[in-house]
Amino acid sequence: MSSNEVSAKNNLPFLYTWKLERLFLSTPSSGKLWEYSSVFPAGGYMYLQLYPKGVLEEEDKSISVFLANGSSPTPSVNISAEVYIGWVDQINGKNQYRRGPQMIFNKTSSWGWIKFLSFDELREPSKGILVNDTCILNVGFFTYDIAKCLQLYPRGRSEEEDKSISLYLQLVNAAIPAPSGKIHAEYYFDWVDQIKGRNHHDRTHQIFDCKQPTWGWKKFLSLDALHEPSKGFLVNDTCIIKVGFLQWDNISK
């Protein structure tokens, strides 16, 4: 019915893959929980709940997916994490993710999407989500540390001096397999609207090595945008910037 694969390379984002076979041929009536994934130890002991025919207002319209915290040897511990739940384009070999908010998980926590994938999206052949009645879901659970630092130029760098904030990600030596190794990283920077509570997102992917351990944006955020009160980026002379990793792979020569 389903198979599971766990990957936690270098203790970086915890990745979990759930392959769902005979997705619609074996499901019961609408709104009933069809299957739990196996439990995976991402910080706590998590599992996925899948409603292949949806719940509540999305019944018979969408797949509903939730992440829940199962039994744990340390039930009193709260886990701070950012979660992505996604699916695989089985035709083009690409991963697509829906990003959730930063959450505090405890033993009774449950979170997810009532409308995770609409039936129209799921059954669109060009998207490659459902192939031979099989769908592959991925979970990214971000709680681990990466040997990294951020470089911030609050008045800009090079041609963006006195025009923008410049921001760079630098992997320190411990994160890069020396001397000839390389790391492919897909990551994002967020800057936070502190008035409306929204994140504004810049996403990229780069190859890091010992010769080029730093990548980023000379023009991350213009100083005009930073100082515009309605945008909420700078409040009481405080700016909040987040960095997150979507993928992390060692590349051998």
DSSP category for residue 16:
E
With a CB cutoff of 8 Å and minimum separation 6, the contacts of 45 are 39, 69, 70, 71, 72
pTM for the whole structure? 0.48
Classify domain 2-142 at the CATH topology level: 2.60.210
Residue 173 has pLDDT above 60, yes or no: no
Q: pLDDT at position 42, please?
A: 59
pLDDT tens-digit profile of 38-58? Answer: 666 655 566 778 888 888 888
Say if residues 65 and 116 touch (Cβ distance below 8 Å). yes
| Domain spans of the chain, in order of start | 2-142, 148-251
Out of 2.20.25.650, 2.20.25.190, 1.10.530.10, 2.60.210.10, the CATH code matching 148-251 is 2.60.210.10
E strand map for the chain? 2-7, 14-20, 35-36, 46-51, 62-69, 79-89, 94-105, 110-118, 135-142, 148-153, 164-171, 182-193, 198-209, 214-222, 241-251
- Per residue in 181-208, pLDDT tens? 677 777 777 888 888 877 777 778 777 7
List the Cα angle 92/97/182 in 5-degree steps.
Answer: 70
In this prediction, residue 163 carries a pLDDT of 93
Fold match, 2-142 / 148-251: yes
pLDDT of residue 176: 52
Q: Which residue has the tokens 């000379």?
A: 218
pLDDT tier, 1 (very low <50, low <70, confident <90, very high otherwise): very low
Q: What is the pLDDT of residues 135-167, one digit of tens each?
A: 898 887 665 444 556 788 888 888 999 999 888
